[in-house]
Each structure stands twice: as structure tokens, then as C-alpha cells.
Chain A
Amino acid sequence: MEVLREGAGELLGWMDPDEARRWMVEEKSRGLEDKRMPLREAVERFTKDGDYFAMGGFGHIRVSMAAIYEMIRQGRRNLKIAAKTAVHDVDILIGGEVVDTVECAYAFGHELRGLSPTGRRAAEGGRVKVVAEISNAGFQWRFKAAAMGLPFLPARVMLGTDTLRYSSAKVVKDPFTGKPLCLLPACYPDFAFIHVHRCDRYGNCQVDGTIMEDGELSMAAKRLIITTEEIVDEEEIRGAPDRTVIPHFLVDAVCEVPYGSHPGNMPGLYYSDEEHMAEWLRLSRTEEGVEEYMDRYVHSVEEFSEYVELVGGGEKMEYLRKLEYLQVPLEAPWRR
């Protein structure tokens, strides 16, 4: 195939498909093993400084925030994030000085809430480097290429734009049509955290609602840590196998962390905590404010359950459940 153009962005997370196969052969156990462990241990064992990683979920929905807080607490440094619609996660990881490199589909913003002061300050000041741009579908299909064991996947996005020029993709002449076609390189993150509604001790997972990119991401990640609202009996999984979206053999660790997506949304369980988001957006306008937030919510606690108490405990969680079920009106304190 004739290569017409090449993006100048850094190629992160790519492997030759034979190298990737070797990883799958040697590192992913097919057996049913009890993978339960405390989140602290999973973060210690499966994440290391300098890794390239992705978070499951989307935006502030069903993201393993508990893992984010734990990485900050453990002082991980120089991580590179696959910012596939990364919102609050990448924001506090930058604030917590964990992430210094971004491959960016979407970062530095909070969707309807506006731009993120911390992310912007770091990117504009040079503390955080964006080494490649990409689109959401671009990331999605980078993971899909990996999930299919292919070196790349063709797509008709990014063509003709600076997004492509600053990406790690290439444009070739399609041998079938003769038209230019974008090739997205496979993406195998060193690790990924995915937060789910329930799974068994082996890591067979169910998710309620949209699966976003997690089907492909779970197959692409070299190490996959599941955080879950609850661990259920194996029989519950086997009684409804059509509901399993991530099977055990992809999973390296299972950590039970109720409310683990807070302050984000967990579909069917709790809506996002806009009061907490507003507090972060307000505090993160200054470096001192970021420090105050980290002291209050990350470093003052040893684990996520203490954080849940700190942000309002059972009463707050009940309010967020009602909000999820449209029983109380949504407030948007970040507007003021």
C-alpha cells in the first residue's frame, strides 16, 4: 500500500501483533483464579511510573475514580494517559502530578461544566505535554485493532485535518477503492482500570447501560484491573451469561469498591456529584487550591471508603441515587 501521509504524533502503546500474541500467550491465565485483592495492592502490583494507560468508562461516567485517587496517593509519576474523553480523571491526575504526557482525544475540559483550570494551566505552562492528537472514534478503533490482534484498523476519520497531522495514524491509498484511507495503529495500554456494576471473584463482569469503549479496551490492555460496585456469586454470572461484557481471562485483579465512580455517574446506581465537581473546579483555579483538595480528599484518607464518608457518606449517596432516578432536581453549582 502506498503511504500518502504520516502523522507526526508519538506512537504510544503499539506492538507488533506477534509480540502482542506472545503477551497474550504468556501473561493471560485462562483458568478460574480468585483475583480479589485490595485496590492498594492492585495499584502497587500493576501500575508503575512511566506507564501508558487508559481508564474505562467515558467522561465522568463509570470511571474508576477510586483507582485514580489511589494512584495519586501512591505517588505514581510520569504516567502517559490515553485521554479518550478524559474529564475529571485526567484533571485530578494532572493536579496530583501523576500524569505528564497526554495522547489527546478529549482532555482539559469538563463537558457541560466548561474548561478545566488545572489541565489548561499544566498544558499551557508546559508541565504536561500533548504528544499526539486523535479523535474519539480514532481511539476506539485503535483499541479495536488491538482487540482483533491486528497492527492497524482502517477508518474514514481524521482525513484532511491537523488532528491527523499531529496523530500517530497514517494515510494510505486503499488498494480496493484507490481512495485515501486512514490507518489507526493498534493500541495496547500497559494497564487499564474499568469500573463495573458487578463481577464474580474471577473477574467475569456485568455492566448496566452503555459499554462505551470497554469491550475493546478490556481486550487491548496488557494489564486489566477491575473495580466493582459489588462482587457477586459465580452462579449469578453463569445464570445470565449473555450479560457478561468482560470475561475473567482478560482480568488481572478484582477490587470491590462501592461508589468507586464517585464523583462521577454510575448508571442505575448514582448520578454525578455536581457539588463535589464544583468544589474541585473552584479550588483548582489555583495551585494552592489543588493542594487543598488533595490534602482533604486524597492524602488524609487511607482508602476509598473513608473518602466516601468524607464527601457525605450514606446521606450523600442516597441523594445521588435519587438524582439518578430523577426524584430530585439537578443543580449545577459550577454555573455560579
Chain B
Amino acid sequence: MGEEGLALEYNATELMACVASRVLEDGKSVFVGTGLPIIATMLAQRLHAPELLIVFEAGGLGPKLPTIPISVGDSRTFYKSVMAASMDYVMGMAQQGLVDYGFLGAAQIDRYGNLNTTVIGEHGSPKVRLPGSGGANDVGSLCTRTIILMRHDKLRFMNKLDFLTTPGYLTGPGAREEAGLPAGTGPHRVITQLGVMGFDEETKEMRLLSVHPGVTREQVQENTSFKLHMQGEIAVTDEPTPEELRLLREEIDPAGIVIGR
């Protein structure tokens, strides 16, 4: 297959991994969870961000990830790492301001980037009981910028969450600081199978930054229960490059555990 042919064929998960990896800058630190965040981080480390400091909540600091860990605490998370620390150490680091980026996922998100991973329905009589905060609330509270990876549809992009597990911008401008959360922190990007969102400087509400190839801005709005800001030019997301796809498929996730091939 020619390089061009390869570049045209990719799935939504692969695209999301590529987009997320491009957000990560070299020389910064990132708090990583299982699944897609790990894939994106490994990709960034192999391409433009070799000096990206990976931080795992169970204490792994700066590993050279050889393969995908199943848990954020398993032995891969401190493989050839600079330090095998503790949760206390890592969470303390994040509270000090030493962790620049943090990855999050969720079952529900609202316009301010607040997330639910605890329960669908009532807390006392759940329709679906989800795992809870885990480290998510800590990541969303303490990391400087968070990157949210999730599926985009109306049931997930909601007006009102069933449960606010992890803080985004809470009720809008100034609300995080008012609640006592560290100043200057909050959600940075939301990456879905449809596009890339950021947050409006003034209102702290979600805004569309780019649509993925073949997706229209109308489609993104149709899959969102609240009104998305989309003034100005909306870019089209860059497609995965052949090199990104090769790394994902051949080196990072050859068994297709996360990317599903």
C-alpha cells in the first residue's frame, strides 16, 4: 500500500490519539490514565516530545513505556522510569503545580467541561453505577490544563450532569477560584470522534475549534445538547500521518487493545 492510501484509512480512535498527542508539548509533564491517553502520550514521546515527563497516579514517574499498561499502577508504568514514587508524592507534585497536562475521560460532560464518571441516574438508586472519581477529580482539580477524550453524542454532551465528579470551569468564569481550586487551572481541550473543542476565554463555555475530516459543524452541534460556540473560522483537523499510523499500529498497540484493529 502506498503512503497516501495508508493515510486515508484510519478509525476514529486512531485520529483521536493523534490529535491528543499533538497537544502535548516537549519538556512538559502529563498525568496519564489507561487506554487512549496512554496511546496518545506514547505517540507524542516517539515523535515530537521525547522529553515529555509521564506521571502515573500510583507513583510511576518518567517511564519509557515499552507497551500499554493495563492499569495506571502496573509494572509498565515505572519501566525504566526516573523514579518509582508513591501516590502521595505524585498528587503532591500536582498540587504544587508540577504537572502541566492531565488526561480525563467521562460518561457525561457539560458546557463548562465538568465531568461525570460516578453515576447515571440518582446517586442513591443508580441506573448505571460507574467507577467514581478515581484520580479524575484530582487531575481535574490540580493539573494546569486538562485534555478530555470521550465519545460525542447528545446523551454525553449534556445541559445538566447527573453527578459532577470532576471540576471543569464549574459554573463559569471565576468559579474554580471561588471554590478554592488552584488559580489558572482548568480544561483545555475536548477531543471526540467529531472534532476538537476548547473553551471560550470570556464565558468559559465550550467552543468548537476544528471538525474532523468529513464532519460538518452542524453535525457537531446536532450531537451536543447545549449550544456550542462556533464563531469565526473552524478548521479541519489534520489527518493522521502515515508515520503516526505506523507507530500506533506497529509499535504502540500492535494487538489493537485500545485502537481496536
Contact = CB atoms under 8 A, between A and B. Distances in A.
B57 interface: yes
B223 interface: no
Interface residues of A, number: 70
Contacts of A311: none
Nearest to B183: A179
A106 B132 contact: yes
A159 B181 contact: yes
A2 interface: no
A98 B258 CA distance: 33
B129 A161 contact: no
A330 B67 contact: yes
Task: Tell which of B58, B70, B123 has the most Cβ of chain A within 10 Å.
Answer: B70
Nearest to A147: B88
Interface residue tally of chain B, by bracket? 35 or more
Interface string B58-70: 1110000011111
Contact of A158 (B71, B85, B137): B137
A286 B3 CA distance: 47
A171 B180 contact: yes
A155 B137 CA distance: 12
Contact of B71 (A111, A120, A211): A111
A111 B179 contact: no
Nearest to A155: B95
Interface in B126-172: 126-138, 141-142, 163-167, 170
Given A156-B180, A211-B59, A326 B129 contact: no
A135 B59 contact: no
A22 interface: no
A160 B87 contact: no
A32 interface: no
B98 to A, nearest CB: 14
A210 B134 contact: no
B54 interface: no
Interface in A212-240: 212-216
A210 B77 contact: yes
Contacts of A324: 75
Contact of A210 (B58, B126, B254, B257): B58
B134 A135 contact: yes
A108 B84 contact: no
A335 B257 contact: yes
B133 to A, nearest CB: 4
B87 A61 contact: no
Interface in A192-208: none
A180 B179 contact: yes
A104 B118 CA distance: 9
Contact of B74 (A123, A158, A171, A272): A272
A268 B76 CA distance: 10
Contacts of B128: 120, 124
Nearest to B85: A210
Given A105-B133, A272-B70, A161 B164 contact: yes
B47 interface: no
A329 interface: yes
Contacts of A106: 131-135
B215 interface: no
Contacts of A162: 118, 123, 163-165
Interface string A85-110: 10100000000000000001111110
A214 B56 CA distance: 16
B204 interface: no
Contact of B134 (A105, A174, A212): A105
Contacts of B70: 60, 111-113, 265, 272, 274, 330, 332
B65 to A, nearest CB: 11
B261 to A, nearest CB: 11
Nearest to A106: B134
B207 to A, nearest CB: 22
Given A58-B71, A123-B129, A162-B163, A212 B59 contact: yes
A111 B34 CA distance: 7
A191 interface: no
A181 B35 CA distance: 32
A134 interface: yes
Given A124-B128, A135-B133, A136-B134, A144 B88 contact: yes
A209 B78 contact: yes
A212 B86 contact: yes
B176 A137 contact: no
B125 interface: yes
Given A155-B95, A210-B85, A324-B75, A166 B133 contact: no
B175 interface: yes
B131 A61 contact: no
B72 interface: yes
A119 interface: yes
Contacts of B78: 209-210, 267
Contacts of B258: 112
A181 B180 CA distance: 6
Interface of B: 34-35, 56-60, 66-75, 77-78, 84-88, 91, 94-95, 114, 118, 123, 125-138, 141-142, 163-167, 170, 175-176, 178-182, 254-255, 257-258
Closest CB pairs A-B (n = 9): A160-B179, A180-B180, A210-B59, A109-B131, A58-B73, A106-B134, A123-B129, A135-B137, A267-B75
10 contacts: A112-B68, A120-B129, A135-B137, A156-B142, A157-B91, A158-B133, A159-B141, A160-B181, A272-B70, A272-B74
